[in-house]
Amino acid sequence: MSRPTRPLWPMMTPVENQGDDAYCAESAHGVRVRFKGGPELLCGTSGLWNCVLGYGNLAIADAVHAALRDASYLSLWGYENSYARRAAEALVEVAGPEHYGRVLFSTSGGAANDLTMKLVRQYFSLRGEDLRKGIVGLHGGWHGLTFGAAALTSANLGDRIYGVDRRLVTHVHANDPEELEKLLDRHRGRIAAVVVEPVIGTPALPLTDDYIAALLRLRREHGLLLVADEVTTGYGRVGPFFASQAWPEPPDVLITSKALTNGTLAASAVIVSRPVAEVFTRAGAVLGAGETQAGTPVTAAAILATLDEMRRLDAVARGAGLAARLDTELATLVRDVDVVTSTQGKGCLRALMLSRPDGGEFGKQDIADLVAAIRQEGAIVHPGPSSLLLLPALVYTTQDLKLLLDRVRAGVARYLRHTA
């Protein structure tokens, strides 16, 4: 019998979990989340990748409070505000002012990807290359579920029902430069951009150095733009502040969200290279994109405070130390837990690859049951295809990490007892 329907309709939540108090969070502090009438759980996902500095950072909260009092709402539609100016300057500085020049604000990773698709197409139109409208993404990539981003996200989540338009979007396999090169040759002069995540979020598949080198070479040969979607990989998650800063050459456009405000507000930013931005400036062109909640003073204050806290806490270096401990601990986990066959990923973005004791594949329901078993043992992890995803906050202590992996072990044992 189903439980009574509540007014709240949560997103991407199985119907059987909707309205269940066990899935209704009430508070979050540090790296722990308390659920309604239940225990406090250790968060192994940084709150859906967002809270790289943990929950409840007081400096960010204070900055948001001050902005609410001083400038509760100011728009970027037809106007500017001084908070957004300072936030844009700070983002250019951390991304690399020698290459990047301008920042567009948006409200989510999906909306930022939509905006970027408009940006790259208008860029080529201004250059007299109106046929360049094609966008290439990678299989397994996740860019959001707004209308444009849903086409760029390779998973089919109701495309026919919603009328998602993929006519100008196609996908190739990651780390296969030959497939991409053949596609670009077939559609020479028609591809505007290739959009990649430096580490494909599910299941934490890093782009190889050889593939990145091929992307940069093909950008030069075909005159297209390269976009790094760093919604997940930014803010020290997988190494440098932005993962693409480790590439031999930077992308033309960099997208950031999630950790941008440490998850406190709906915000994203599109950081644009100087050469791309200058085409719009020379033409006197206005980009046809606008959101009433993008770049408000409150959002900008959270962005600035998050950057300050990243520096104060030396978060990138702490993340590198945590990643090194993960290397050691996950190798032990693979050795000790039969169903964990291997791990993949980078930095503090990892996937535990799973196989049943009989060698069979973990299906979607198996993974959901395993995630639930780990919750019962006191930790939150994220489901992936035949995998579990671990994304600890960069401020995890050694004890936090040990506790997380102990609870994963206990959850796996619980799951196996109940399915034996």
Q: What is the pLDDT of residues 314-323, one digit of tens each?
A: 999 999 999 9
The class (CATH top level) of 58-312 is alpha beta
Average pLDDT of the residues in 377-406: 97
d(CA 116, CA 123): 10
d(CA 159, CA 309): 40
**Tens of pLDDT, residues 112-130:** 999 999 999 999 999 999 9
**From start to end of 83-210, where are the E strands?**
100-106, 134-138, 169-172, 191-196, 199-200, 205-206
Q: How far is CA 108 from CA 43, 93, 149, in A?
A: 22, 22, 11
Q: Domain extents for the chain?
A: 15-53+314-419, 58-312
Is the whole model's pTM more than 0.75, yes or no? yes
Average pLDDT of the residues in 365-385: 96
Residue 5 has pLDDT above 90, yes or no: no
Average pLDDT of the residues in 203-232: 97
Range scoring the smallest mean pLDDT among 17-21, 225-229, 328-332? 17-21
Classify domain 15-53+314-419 at the CATH superfamily level: Aspartate Aminotransferase, domain 1 (3.90.1150.10)
- What is the reported pLDDT for 203? 84
pLDDT grade for 281, boundaries at 50, 70 and 90 = very high
Residue 38 has pLDDT above 90, yes or no: no
pLDDT grade for 408, boundaries at 50, 70 and 90 = very high
- What is the reported pLDDT for 3? 64
Nearest to 256 by CA among 223, 281, 234, 225: 234
Residue 211 has pLDDT above 90, yes or no: yes
Average pLDDT of the residues in 264-284: 98
Residue 63 has pLDDT above 50, yes or no: yes
Helix 398-419 vs helix 364-376: crossing angle, to nearest 10: 120
- What is the reported pLDDT for 117? 98
Using CB atoms within 10 Å of the CB of residue 198, give its burial: 0 to 12 exposed, 13 to 18 middle, 19+ buried. Answer: buried
- What is the reported pLDDT for 144? 95
Average pLDDT of the residues in 330-349: 96
Residue 1 has pLDDT above 70, yes or no: no
Nearest to 354 by CA among 344, 340, 367, 366: 340
User: Residue 349: helix, strand or coil by DSSP?
Assistant: strand
- What is the reported pLDDT for 4? 66
Residue 2 has pLDDT above 70, yes or no: no
Average pLDDT of the residues in 2-23: 88
Residues 6+ apart with CB under 8 A from 362: 339, 354, 355, 356, 370, 386, 387
DSSP 8-state class, residue 97: T
Residue 268 has pLDDT above 90, yes or no: yes
